[in-house]
Structures are given as C-alpha cells and as structure tokens.
Structure 1
Amino acid sequence: MENLEFEKGKQFIIVEITEYIPNSVVIKTIIKKTTGNVTVVSFDSGEMLTDKISPFDTFIQVIDGKAEVIINEQSTILEVGQAIIIPAHARNSIKANIRFKMISTIIKSGYDEITL
C-alpha cells in the first residue's frame, strides 16, 4: 500500500509530486486527516473531474499549466499561481483544456451538520 503522506520535516518540490500520464488524472495525497486533506492532482489534456457537490469548501491552486474550474455553471480559467475556493454545496467540475497540475485543500472542521 502506498504511503498516503509525505515525510514531515523534509522539503520537496510540489510540482514534481505527480507526473502527467496520458489520458489520466493522477492524484497524490500529501496530508490526509479526519479534519481535511491536501492533494496534488495532474490532469492530462482533455481530462476532467465530473460534476460533484462537496459538503466542504475546497481550495484549488494551479501549479503548472492552466485549468478550467466550473462552479454552479460559471466557468473560471486559472493559470499558474492563481487559486479559487469552491464553496461547500456548490456543483463543480474541473477540466483540462490543456494539461495542468493543482493543489487541492479541503478543510472539514468548522462545519455544522447541514440538512439539504
């Protein structure tokens, strides 16, 4: 089984955590806790994460290439260094018109149970 977290106290180059694989989305977990997680994701050109709704806010930052983030049918293009927060309970998808890498951070604490 793959180690889900990187060694604490050791430096690494975030953009090198995951490689591009043809026709794939690759997800590498940096930190996984009950209160949230941090992942690095690479998307090959033409790939996407389909519509979903999360009960938590999700912070997305592009670290290579360019991403299209769609939140409640509103499209935003993010370039290297740009970020966006996908609000909790918003319908969203992420598309790779060209290949890109991103950091995704989800914080699960601080939310009350919400009935939809």
Structure 2
Amino acid sequence: MEKFIKNLDAAKVLSLVDQVNYLDGQIVSKTLAQNEAVSLTLFAFDQGEAISTHDSDGDALILVLDGKGQITIDGKDSILSVGQSILMPAKIPHAVYAIERFKMFLIVVFPKKGEKNESKS
C-alpha cells in the first residue's frame, strides 16, 4: 500500500510539535509529504535563525506550533506565536525569522500542472 504522508506513525495519536527537535544554531526540517500538488514540512528554528526572502509557486500556510517567529510578507512584518497562522500567497516575497526558538508546520499547495498562479492578493 502506497504511503502518501511519510515520517509519521500511522493510526497513532501524536503531537506535531514533538516530531522535530531544536538544534543549537540550526534550522531543522522534517518533510512529511512532497509532490507536485502539496508540500508538508515541520520546522524547528533555533533563536535568531532565518529563512531569507524568497517566493514560492504555491500558497504557503504557516501554523505555529511552539515559540515566536516573525514572518515578513511583501515587506510587512507579522509576529506569530503558538496557535497562530498566516498565509503567504504564491509569488509574493516572504521570509521567516525566529525571535525565539520556534516550531512551525508549513503547508504549501501548488497550482495544477500547466496552470499558472498569477494572483497577487
């Protein structure tokens, strides 16, 4: 049987925050799914670590699992903490910075193959 979501135990109650660990001076990631339609990734950022400004072909949703992070979208900063989320639209520059140790679940949904995503909303 094909497994679409990897690196998690199936049919077991789990805590996403416990699935990725902090490492001093690093960003740790754990990919749960990656294909042309969707990407599911857990991240743990040590304090002060960052992903520099970039964009994506898909819409990206951040779910904060632990700590506090600064998300910059198209030059505008937002501070997020546990339980908060933010949507980073496709093709819009964005960055992530860990104000303190910070864990997030990133869900990226890509356009259908051959379909252009030109939204700037």
Q: Which runs of 5+ in 1 are unaligned?
A: none
1:21 maps to which residue?
23
**Contact 1:36–1:109 (CA under 8 A) maintained in structure 2:** no
Of 66, 69, 72, the match for 1:67: 69
Distance between the aligned counterparts of 2:90 and 2:117, measured in 1?
A: 11
The answer on 1:78 being equivalent to 2:80 is yes
Shift in CA distance, 12/91, structure 1 to aligned 2, threshold 3 Å: same
Distance between the aligned counterparts of 1:114 and 1:75, measured in 2?
A: 24
Q: Which deviates the most, 71-80 or 29-38? A: 29-38
Percent identity, please. Answer: 29
1:114 is displaced (CA, Å) by: 5.0
Name the SS of the counterpart of 2:17 in structure 1.
helix
Measured on the aligned residues, the alpha-carbon RMSD in Å equals: 1.8
1:46 is displaced (CA, Å) by: 0.6
4+ aligned runs moved over 4 Å, structure 1: none
Letter in 1 for 2:83: G
TM-score (normalizing by structure 1) = 0.88
Name the SS of the counterpart of 1:96 in structure 2.
strand
Name the SS of the counterpart of 1:34 in structure 2.
coil
Of 109, 112, 116, the match for 1:113: 116
Q: Which runs of 5+ in 2 are unaligned?
A: none
